[in-house]
Structure 1
């Protein structure tokens, strides 16, 4: 890392992957990493399925675009991380050792892959192409604090953020492919921003969500990437609806004590686990 302290510059890079084209999609992500590096980024977050595009019709179509951890995309991200002394978090279609295809994200340092997260909550027709994640929500120690990952729709399920918060995550990185919400009032921010801000505040962690742009098979992606502080407030402008880069300077490790020292409330510490219904089926089903 470029910094000698725990303070870092985290960047969210918006790319427009090409469906099924690993080479073109990876090249776009590498260009974005280099642009972020030139802006002084220590951590670069890329969108969901940045390696291949997202709108696969089914598993058969997704399979040729799926890769293991030794695939072209992860190798390229590692090469950039090593050469530019930074960390990369990006989404990719993962071919698991079990032969299944997962909507995954990798956290890559100059030393290699530090963590892989498989999307737990699949959205809409993703079930046709991907297998739901089977490894929970891992949190790893880094030089700049404890880091966890979510992917897009996971943010709408409060237990996703809570699982990371209870493990002490200081920073959540969230590759995403946000789409327009048909119920979205024009005068309000995207619902993706609202759930991200709420997740950050409720779990007292920084969140950096990078969302893609472009259109695939009639689905338009809104960009609008966002970086949020542990109190739920955006730290910089949101991304546009085109290829873009946003960044913010944060200190997840150095501010750990101060951000948990709210004189009024501690959202994690004030929890009443004994009062919550756990393991229940949704009564509305």
Structure 2
């Protein structure tokens, strides 16, 4: 039985600080319809797709800060997107800021959901690898305060059955950490949906920041190849409230090859036919973990050398 599906990356251009959620959702509905017109069954939107990237600012007023988060999805503002998905029978990935009452307290996460073609939520993921700082840094034009406004995700890296295969999720900085891909690879993931908002000056070191787009693609291509999975990486990009963010949203095959890439820094839909069985072939040959992976040996090396010693 063929497991070929058309997938879409729905890149978003800048979102102004004053742009209401309803406007962002309308933009996404338009792109969902465009993707549907091309035959797409799954559309991947960016990280924090409902608002501007608010961690770039120091926000001290509690009410002002809480206004950036969502308590439940679908909310009144996002309901049209869920309804359009059900109408068109097209699923989607959506990144947003989550506010939730857990363990007797209010908690905040950088979150994404996977929504099925019936408009119902299949699964949720909370960003594990939070970049940036928990306090303002001197000399920075724009702050990066994700560690102040979010907790590290507590759901692990689950994969979910849907769209003819097994689908996992990441958010932005997760893509730089090989263990994020590997945990899902060990669960037989077929496709990883990944949204990002990445400023070009995120480290403050020009020699590193000049390679931001190269590193963006490098990490996703390596993760796709080494874990035999499709990766759909979707940016929120362009000059947003003065901060320049990278674009070049991509669809990457399990071979590590980029098969589609955005060419603008605006709202743009790219699509590709994803043969989920291509990943199966890699898992049965080069990356047959059961046959070729030797996790016990890794422990022996660390034990003999010492955790901090060069291997």
Q: What TM-score, normalized to structure 2?
A: 0.80
- Shift of the 79–189 alpha-carbon distance from structure 1 to 2, 3 Å rule, reads same
Residue of structure 2 in register with 1:114 after alignment:
122
Match of 2:296 among 274, 277, 282: 274
Name the CA shift for 1:100/1:275 in 2 (closer, same or farther; >3 Å).
same
Kindly provide the CA deviation profile for residues 165-217 of structure 1, in whole angstroms up to 9, marking residues without a partner as x.
Answer: 11110100001113326436979962100000000011111100011123334
Shift of 1:110: 2.9
Distance 1:164 1:187, change over 3 A: closer
Q: 1:225 to 1:64 in 2, by over 3 A?
A: same
Q: Following TM superposition, by how much is the alpha carbon of 1:36 offset from its aligned partner in structure 2, in angstroms?
A: 1.6
Q: Give 3-state SS (helix, strand or coil) of 1:161's partner.
A: helix
Query: Does 1:97 pair with 2:120?
Result: no
SS in 2 for 1:51: coil
Report how far residue 242 of structure 1 moved: 2.5
Cα drift, residue 93 of structure 1: 1.1
Residue 81 and residue 189 in structure 1: after superposition, are their counterparts in 2 closer, same or farther (change >3 A)?
same
Question: Structure 2: how far apart are the matches of 1:39 and 1:167?
Answer: 30
Tell me, yes or no, if the aligned pair for 1:51 and 1:73 is still in contact at 8 Å. Answer: no
Aligned mates of 1:218, 1:153 — CA distance in 2: 21
Residues 141-220 of structure 1: matches in 2 within 5 Å? Answer: 141-180=161-200, 182-183=206-207, 190-220=214-244
**Which segment is superposed worse, 124-133 or 225-234?**
124-133
Instruction: Determine the structure 2 residue equivalent to 1:138.
Output: 158
Q: CA deviation at 1:251?
A: 2.0
Partner of 1:63 in structure 2? 66
Within 2, Cα distance between the matches of 1:120 and 1:143?
A: 25
Deviations 1:86-142 (A, max 9, x none): 111111111223322211111111330001101011111211211211111110011
Which has more helix, going by share of residues? Answer: 2
- The TM-score normalised by the length of structure 1 is 0.87
- Flag structure 1 segments of 5+ consecutive residues without an equivalent: none
Q: SS of the counterpart of 2:54? A: coil
Q: Which runs of 5+ in 2 are unaligned?
A: 133-144
CA RMSD of aligned residues (A): 2.8
3-state SS of paired residue (2:111): strand
- The 2-side partners of 1:90 and 1:39 are apart by 20
Taking the aligned partners of 2:288 and 2:219, their CA distance within structure 1 comes to 16
**Which residue is equivalent to 1:47?**
46
CA shift, 1:51, in A, is 1.2
Question: Structure 1 residues 255, 184: CA separation in 2 closer, same or farther (over 3 Å shift)?
Answer: same
